[in-house]
Structure 1
Amino acid sequence: MSTLDSGMNQLESRVGGLTVGGKVHSLSAWFVLALRLMMGIAFLNAGLSKLLSAEPFSAYGYLANAVPANGGPFVDQFLWMAGSPTVLAIVDVAVPYGQVAIGLGLIVGAFVRLAAFFGALMMAMFYVANWDVAHGVINGDFAYMLVFLAVAAFAAGRILGLDRYIEQYDVGGEALVERYPALEYILG
């Protein structure tokens, strides 16, 4: 369970009997906001470039050629995706529209934890697809996955974002997240 006491700027988390913590600098919110916006702009741009390209987006070439050339641990699964017309059709829609949705969610700060989860999932898929450990196991895909997870963990949608207002939306005299606590997993 993690908590942030804004009065003291203290961060603490307990997982599996291990407690970590520290003092958060007053500028931390600006850096979290910058990470959210950076990833939002990057994903919106990536999705729009696929959707607005002169050629319709297809993941086939990447899945069938680039992934096997990278020699990752899940080559067979990616080749299966490329060889299945149904799965390929889903991927061809999910990637560009997913990137646009993730990007827009992060930019406006709405449903940020949900957007960050799917962004991290997409980056994890790219990480194993772009398998290149010649310079170590940490690459840009892995780093972006961690940025998405940090954006979610720090509830970046509450920092100059719409999640702050969505969470407080009045539903029968209660704030939305008080009435439906599970929404904290997708908002914030």
Structure 2
Amino acid sequence: MRRYHESALQSLSAFLPGENGGDGPAVASVDERRVSPFDGTVSPERGVSSLPNRSQRLGITTRLIRPLGQRRCMATRELESKVFGWDVEFTYSETWIGYALFGLRLIMGWTLFYAGITKVVDPEWSVRGFLLYGIPDGNPLTGLWTAMGNDWAWLLTPLNQLGLTLVGLALILGLFVRFSAFWGATMMLFYWMASYPFDNALLIDYHMVYVFLLFGLGAFGAGRILGLDARIEQLDIVEQYPQLRLFLG
């Protein structure tokens, strides 16, 4: 595999001016790869490992556009995909998308962690109070919330306390981000249903915003950006069982 990479680089250098005697035209270098949003790897057209046939089925293509002579941090990437059957094509900065995802992960993580840890350190906090007395009038599931508050508060209270705390901490550390984002989004969906109807919103409140933020963090695999998932994915067990990447990133 290393020889393949070296051979490919030597072939490419023949077309680049000033490198290994190449005298080709000064055009921007382009690197096309098919990327899997499940694990962030790319298909082996350029000698990079990926899960077999997954990105091919998804049909997502990115094209790296880097003007010659500029550093890698200046690169932009062009994404081609389909959304609800519509062709989508746009370019974005690799540098700024990294900062954006890292910032969103930290902010979302701190929001959930703080909401959870304040409940953990409060010995009097219980989900029962909200389920019995905090559900808005007109909520179509009032009967369900009342039953849960009466019969399941002993279980739901620690689940809320620890769930928010651990999901938030995992996002901050970049640890099992996809797994954590899934459960965080699930909790936000329950909060959204229990908070309806909303005083200052129509159908969409901040809980639903959190749902899609968590979905985006999981889809991009944001745990690999200055997170522990980047190191975990290098372990031998992940190489042996690539399905584990569904929980990482």
* Matched residue, 2:202: 136
Residue number among 72, 91, 100 corresponding to 2:165 in the alignment:
100
Query: Which runs of 5 or more structure 1 residues have no equivalent in the other structure?
Result: none
1:186/1:65 Cα in 2 relative to 1: closer, same or farther (>3 Å)?
A: same
The share of aligned pairs that are identical, in percent, is 32
- The answer on whether the counterparts of 2:62 and 2:80 sit within 8 Å (CA) in structure 1 is no
Residue number among 72, 77, 80 corresponding to 2:144 in the alignment:
77
1:122 aligns with 2:187: yes
Q: Secondary structure at the match of 1:168?
A: coil
Q: Secondary structure at the match of 2:64?
A: coil
Kindly provide the amino acid, as one letter, of the partner of residue 126 in structure 2. Answer: S
Q: Distance in 1 between matches of 2:174 and 2:188?
A: 20
Kindly provide the amino acid, as one letter, of the partner of residue 166 in structure 1. Answer: I
Aligned positions of 1:18-167 closer than 5 A? 18-26=86-94, 27-53=96-122, 55-67=123-135, 69-84=136-151, 87-133=152-198, 135-167=201-233
- Per-residue CA deviations over 1:18-71 (Å, capped at 9, x if unaligned) read 443422223011111111100111111111100112x3321001011111x243
Kindly provide the amino acid, as one letter, of the partner of residue 145 in structure 1. Answer: V
- The answer on whether the counterparts of 1:110 and 1:161 sit within 8 Å (CA) in structure 2 is yes
- The answer on whether the counterparts of 2:178 and 2:246 sit within 8 Å (CA) in structure 1 is yes
Q: What TM-score, normalized by structure 1, do the two folds share?
A: 0.86
Q: Distance in 1 between matches of 2:88 and 2:192?
A: 28
Q: Post-superposition shift, 1:10?
A: 2.8
| Structure possessing the higher relative contact order (Cα contacts under 8 Å, 6 or more residues apart) | 1
Larger Rg: 2
Q: Distance in 1 between matches of 2:61 and 2:108?
A: 23
Kindly provide the amino acid, as one letter, of the partner of residue 161 in structure 1. Answer: G
Q: Secondary structure at the match of 2:171?
A: helix
- The answer on whether the counterparts of 1:33 and 1:159 sit within 8 Å (CA) in structure 2 is yes
Q: Post-superposition shift, 1:4?
A: 6.6
Q: Distance in 2 between matches of 1:132 and 1:58?
A: 22
Q: Post-superposition shift, 1:79?
A: 1.4
1:70/1:37 Cα in 2 relative to 1: closer, same or farther (>3 Å)?
A: farther
Q: Secondary structure at the match of 1:20?
A: strand
Query: Which runs of 5 or more structure 2 residues have no equivalent in the other structure?
Result: 1-57, 66-76
Q: Distance in 1 between matches of 2:167 and 2:59?
A: 24
Q: What TM-score, normalized by structure 2, do the two folds share?
A: 0.66
Q: Distance in 2 between matches of 1:90 and 1:102?
A: 18
Q: Post-superposition shift, 1:137?
A: 1.4
1:63/1:167 Cα in 2 relative to 1: closer, same or farther (>3 Å)?
A: same
Q: Post-superposition shift, 1:2?
A: 7.0
The count of aligned residue pairs is: 179
Q: Post-superposition shift, 1:133?
A: 4.2
Kindly provide the amino acid, as one letter, of the partner of residue 157 in structure 1. Answer: G
Structure with more of its chain in helix, by fraction: 1
- Per-residue CA deviations over 1:88-139 (Å, capped at 9, x if unaligned) read 2211111010111101100010100011111111111111111134531121
